[in-house]
Amino acid sequence: MSSATPVPERAVHVTHGSTNKLILRSYLKSYETALLTIRKVFKIGDDIAEKDISLGIKCMVDHDSSQFLFVAGPPEWKAISGDMKHVLVVVSEGKGHSQVKAEDHVKKEGDIAVIDISDDSDNEMDMGNAAHPPRAARVRFAMDMAGDGDGDGNNDGEGNGNNDDGEQGIVNLVLHRQVVRDWLRRHPDAPWVVPPAKLAPALRAHLKRLGTLSMDDGPRMPLPTAVSQELSVRKQNWLSKQIVHTDVPSRRDLLVDSEGVGFYRELVRAHRAATGNGTHNNASTMRKKIGKKYMLSPKADFYESWVKACPGCQRPRAAGAVPHAV
């Protein structure tokens, strides 16, 4: 079969290094789901930060040539990914990269191993080597997005925020990240909702040290250098105020944001009611549950925004349905 076999409309050609895959378009609809899918398919580990993975979409720049244009985030992805045919994945590992990559620098599509696709495969579920993520990856993907833990793969991964996981729906990872972004826009002094994982060791040591100081000395203790050098003065002031009101010493851990996923799962666990019958806890209960386990946990209005975004909490309940636990 010729290597010029056309790629079905339901698949997108994706290149990472010397590896080439066809990935179903539905797994690439949003920037966030595209990143998750590409991590699974190309086995890009969690040690690679999201900011170090760049996605370029091949675009015509004039009548005779095309280039991979790297997108800066969700808005740009949405603007140009509608009819994408080829995506280039670059893992910069902190070294940076050119924002525009010439097609000549990428292995030619005709050089890849022959992809065996039947003539009518565009209407079939199994499109030769088109990459549905492996079964285990698809289950994990659904869990990451829906946080449902049931492994049924019901979430289609399209990031529409309308999961139906048997619990009247719940906030998915994409919607969670949007709530985080919206909260930060409303609170410009705040450096984060919860601290990033890379600053956790310095903050833990700082809080432990505060527990040994007197009430008078504690507030005067400066932030660790590893933290202060990352933040503007007003963001340092915001954090210092939060620390002053933190009960130390404490056996509680520090809740951190590791690419958004760990924090997200804690919120999902806190939102599920202990009854296990599909009811959801309200914002106040979530705050109490997480506050008992973690220091520097989110502010009250963040929980309120998160619950307001929950599709299950907004969906009208049928007559006789169990009300939300409080």
Q: Distance between CA atoms of 178 and 111, rounded to whole angstroms?
A: 39
Q: What's the length of the chain?
A: 326
Tokens of residue 108, six digits:
């030619």
Helices 31-42 + 135-146 axis angle, to 10:
150
* More confident position, 195 or 276: 195
Q: Which long-range contacts (CB under 8 A, 24 or more apart) does 153-161 make?
A: 156/26, 157/26, 157/27, 157/33, 157/36, 157/37, 158/26, 158/29, 158/30, 158/33, 159/29, 159/30, 159/32, 159/33, 161/309, 161/311
Q: Give residue-wise pLDDT tens across range 32-91.
A: 889 999 999 998 988 888 888 888 888 765 555 677 777 777 877 877 777 788 899 988
Is the confidence at residue 304, as pLDDT, over 50? yes
167 class by beta-carbon count within 10 Å (0-12 exposed, 13-18 middle, 19+ buried): buried
Arithmetic mean of pLDDT over the chain:
71
Q: Give residue-wise pLDDT tens across range 232-245.
A: 999 999 998 888 87
Is the confidence at residue 176, as pLDDT, over 70? yes
Phi then psi for residue 15, to 5 deg, are -115, 130
Is the confidence at residue 216, as pLDDT, over 70? no
Q: Give residue-wise pLDDT tens across range 127-142.
A: 445 555 544 344 333 3
Q: Which long-range contacts (CB under 8 A, 24 or more apart) does 83-86 make?
A: 84/12, 84/28, 84/57, 84/58, 85/7, 85/12, 85/13, 85/58, 86/12, 86/13, 86/14, 86/15, 86/57, 86/58
Is this model's pTM higher than 0.85 or not? Answer: no
170-to-202, 268, 313 alpha-carbon distances in Å: 33, 8, 8
The set of residues, in sequence order, having a beta carbon less than 8 Å from that of 173 and lying 6+ positions away, is 32, 36, 144, 145, 147, 159, 260, 261, 264
What is the model's pLDDT at position 299? 92
Is the confidence at residue 300, as pLDDT, over 70? yes
Rounded percentage of the chain residues whose pLDDT exceeds 70: 63
